[in-house]
Structure 1
Amino acid sequence: MPTTTHYLDHRVDPRLTIAASWTSMLFLFVCVDLFSLYRKDVRADLEAGKVAAFTIGQGYLLGVILYVAVPSLMLLLSLVMPARVTRAANIAVAAIYAVTIAASAVGEWTYFVVGSVIEVTLLVAIAYQAWTWPTVTDSLPTPRGGQWRHTGQNQLDLEVAEHETTTGR
């Protein structure tokens, strides 16, 4: 008789999931932009000193480096900031970047749109992971099969299953 192998699976810390998602998004971010350099129209615009509606200059390049620096720093900050701040920052930054990336993909070639859709999907995953961040009550042990519930500000009560209360266990 064949035996079934059961694998031990642990919940991954949301900080690691979010940091990994920022890393994946940044890889795609860079690849999509680099692949654009293979296009004649993009190279011609660059030679003319333009990118889309922008003139390439110090102001534009400073804006670009700041735009790329934010998600790069979110990778680190997601690992080191307090949970409450990390949660809020990831929701806000992911939402802003999802909108800007989606807007930049309008009218672009298919590779750019596909890359942007994947980037936006990763950003939605970041925001979702931050939104559903586990609370202390999700990880507290519950004796006798009970469940924790909030009873007021910073108050926790243990609800014990009905049958355990009546049986005296």
Structure 2
Amino acid sequence: MTNRTNTPNLLDNPPVPVQVKIAAAWTSFMFLYIYVDVFNFYKPGVVDGILNGLIWTFDISSTLLTIFLVSVSIPALMVVLSMTLPARVNRATNLVVGSLLIPYSMFNAAGATWEWAFFYGISIGIEVLLLAFILRSAWTWPRTPAVPAGPATTDVRQEASV
């Protein structure tokens, strides 16, 4: 007879490390961020403007494209940093970068007409929700006390088992 209490349930959700949750959120943010830019090409006049050397009201230049490259590189780098930085630095980095990207994301609505309000509202809304999830996850990062090393650890364990 099998012991059902020790049999793992296929639908059990093992705990997911905070780093993985945050990296997944940054990945989602990055995909959304890029897709919104791609979908923006379908707006009438956008491609014509680009072919005429303009993006929004800015002349296309190496400086402008470098700024755009840095802009889209931030979420990509945050995926890697969220998985590799030590917890304390990771938490602080996610709090700072996530906080700075909220107003940056909202800036995408600047100059938008009411005709495109729904498009920008949904895209910016989801971006801000993902950033809020990142901020909340980083803010509430579990703090577990360090286990003392050396003889004190051994003594505590021995006393507990007696």
Q: Same fold (TM over 0.5)?
A: yes
Q: Distance in 2 between matches of 1:103 and 1:15?
A: 28
Which runs of structure 2 are paired with 1:1-169 in the superposition (5 Å)?
A: 7-106=11-110, 107=112, 109=116, 110-137=118-145
1:64, CA displacement in angstroms? 0.6
> What's the TM-score, normalizing by structure 1?
0.74
Q: CA deviation at 1:116?
A: 1.5
Q: Deviations over 1:20-46 (max 9, x none)?
A: 000011111111110111112212221
The Cα offsets for residues 50-100 of structure 1, whole Å up to 9 and x where unpaired, read as 112321110000111011111100100100011111100101111111111
Cα offset for 1:9?
Answer: 2.8
Q: How far is the alpha carbon of 1:112 from its aligned partner?
A: 2.8
Number of equivalenced pairs:
135
Computed over aligned residues only, the root mean square deviation of the Cα atoms, in angstroms, reads 2.0
Instruction: Tell me if the contact between 2:106 and 2:124 (Cα under 8 Å) persists in the aligned partners.
Output: yes
Runs of at least 5 residues in structure 2 that lack an aligned partner in the other structure: 1-8, 148-162
Q: Which runs of 5+ in 1 are unaligned?
A: 1-5, 141-169
Distance, in Å, in 1 between the alignment partners of 2:129 and 2:61 is: 32
- 1:8 positional shift: 2.8
Q: CA deviation at 1:118?
A: 0.2
Greater Cα offset, 119-128 or 39-48: 39-48
Distance, in Å, in 2 between the alignment partners of 1:94 and 1:53 is 27
Query: Given residue 44 of structure 2, which amino acid in structure 1 is its aligned partner?
Result: K
Q: TM-score, normalised by structure 2?
A: 0.77
Name the one with the larger strand percent.
1
**Helix, strand or coil: the match of 2:123?**
helix
Give, in whole Å, the separation in 2 of the partners of 1:55 and 1:125. 35
Ranges of 4+ aligned residues in structure 1 off by more than 4 Å: none
% of aligned pairs identical? 34
